[in-house]
Structure 1
Amino acid sequence: MSLPSDRKALLFSAGGVRLALRLAQLREIVAVPEAAGEVIARGEAVPAAFVSTVLGLPGGRCPFALLTEGPPRVALRVEALHGIVDLSEAEFFQLPARTPLPQPPPFAGAIVMGGAVTLELSVGTLGFAPLEPALDAAEPPPDLGLAAERELRFARAGREYAVPLALLLQVLEEPALAPVPLTPPSHRGLLYHGRALHPVVDLAVLYGGAGGEGRTVLLLDAGGAGIGVVADRVLGVGEGGEDVLRPPWDALFGG
C-alpha cells in the first residue's frame, strides 16, 4: 500500500520549466538568501544544487530550497512554488520512448493536471554539476525519394517534406508543447493530446537547419504510438515544387 506522501507531489518551477517532487522525498521547504551556498536548516549544513543549472536551463532568482530526505540529503534551489497536488486526481505517464535523455534520466515521468504537463524529478540522478544533454544523430536521415500513392506535403524552414496519408492521425494548429530539458535540439517537447503524451520532433533540425518556431504539428502514427512533427504549414493540392524530402519514417520513429 502506498503512503499518503507517495500520492501527493509539490509543484514548482526552475528555469521556467514546471517540475514536481513527491512529498515522500521532501523533508522541508525553506526560504534562503539569494547568495547562499550551503543551506542551513535546523543547524545542519545541506549542500545546494541549483536545479536550473543541473538541467541546463536559464538561471534566475532561486529563493526557495527543497530539502530532500536522501541519502544523501540535498537542498534543491528553485524559482517558484506552485502548491501541492493529489496525484489521484492527475494522470501519470512514463516519458515516451522517442524522448532521448541522459542516462540515467533526470525525470521519473510526467504528471498531467488540467492539461498542463509537469515533469517529475528523479532526485537520485541529479547531482550538482550540469548534466550533458542527449544529442541528435551526427548524420541526417536519408531521403527515400519514393512518393507514396497518397501523401501530404508540408513546409518547414524553407524545405518541403512529404508523409504518407496512411500515417497521418491529425493536424493540430498551435498546440501547447511542454519543454523537456536535456533532450536533443530536434526534440521540441511533449504534446498532451487524446489523453496521451506524444514527443514532437523538428525535421528541420535533423536535416541540419536552424528550426525555430513552427505553429503546426502533424500527429503521426508510429507503430501504435503518436509522434508529432513540426510544420510551418500544410501545402495545398498542386502546391510546391519537385524538390521534396521523404524521410524514412519507420527508422526515424524507431530512434
Structure 2
Amino acid sequence: LSSLKFVGQRELLSSPLCISLFRCPTENDGLKTLQGNKDLPEYAFYHDNKAFGQWLVNELDKTSLVLLDVHMENGQLCSRHRIENPAGLDLGTFEQHWVFSSDELYYSCTIFLSDAIGEYPRVGLKCDLDTSWSAVRYFGRGPEENYPDRCEGSAIGDYHATIDELYVPYIVPQDHGVRTQVSRLDIYDGDTGGVHFKSHDEFSFALHKYSLSELWEKRHADELQRSPVNHLYLDAAVRGVGTATCGPDTLERYRVRSGVYRLSFTISSSH
C-alpha cells in the first residue's frame, strides 16, 4: 500500500506500508557506545550473548521482499512475499490481504518468521507519514511508554498524545515510546480529521520523529536531527527490554522467536 487518503483529508502515507523486523537497539539489547571495544577481553560482558549482535550481523534494518504471488479474488487483493536480508537469508514469508469498500478497508497480514535467526526485535509493519500527522488517540496501555515486560504499571485506558509527548529523551538514543495492548488507534493531522485503525486483536504501536538510522548513529540525545517525516510502527509482537545492560535479559515469554504472527485492522476516516 503506497497511498491512503480518505475524502476531505490529506494523504497519510509518505512511504509504502511494509514489513518491519528491526528496532534501534536499547541499551539493554547491547551497548552501541562500546562497539569499538568488542574485541577486547575485558569488555566481553558487554558484547557476549547480547540480543542486538545477531540483528546487526544479519542487517534486519535492511530487509527486502521478493514477490511470490499476487492475485485478485472476489474483489479482494492477496499477495505473498519472501522476506530476505541483504545476504539473501530467508527470514520467512509475508502474506497480505486487502478488502476494499466505499468508506473503509480491511487489512490483514500473516508473517511466518523462520528460525534462521534466534530471535527478532519486533515483527510488524512500518510506514512514514507527513509531519502534519503528529497526534494520536488510542485505547491501550499508557500514558507512558510500556513494553511487554514493563507494562503492569501502565493502566489500560483512552489516551491522547502528540508525537513530542510520545518521545522519551534517553541520554543515549535508542528505541522508545512503544504502547502495548492497543485495540484502537486514531492518527490526526490537526486540520482535516484522522485515520482510524481498529483491531479485534491487541497490537503495539510507536510514532517516532527520528528515523531508526538517526537513533542508531547518534550517541547523545542532543545530537538528534528531526526527520522530515514521522515514522509509524504497528507491531504484532515486540521484544521485551530486560535488564541486560548490567543484569539478566528479558524472560523467554517476552522474546520474539520464529513462528506465525498476525495483524488485522479495519481502517476508516475519523473526526
Q: TM-score range by the shorter chain?
A: under 0.3
Q: Give TM-score, length-normalised by structure 1.
A: 0.23
Higher RCO (CA-CA < 8 Å; seq separation 6+): 2
Q: Give TM-score, length-normalised by structure 2.
A: 0.22
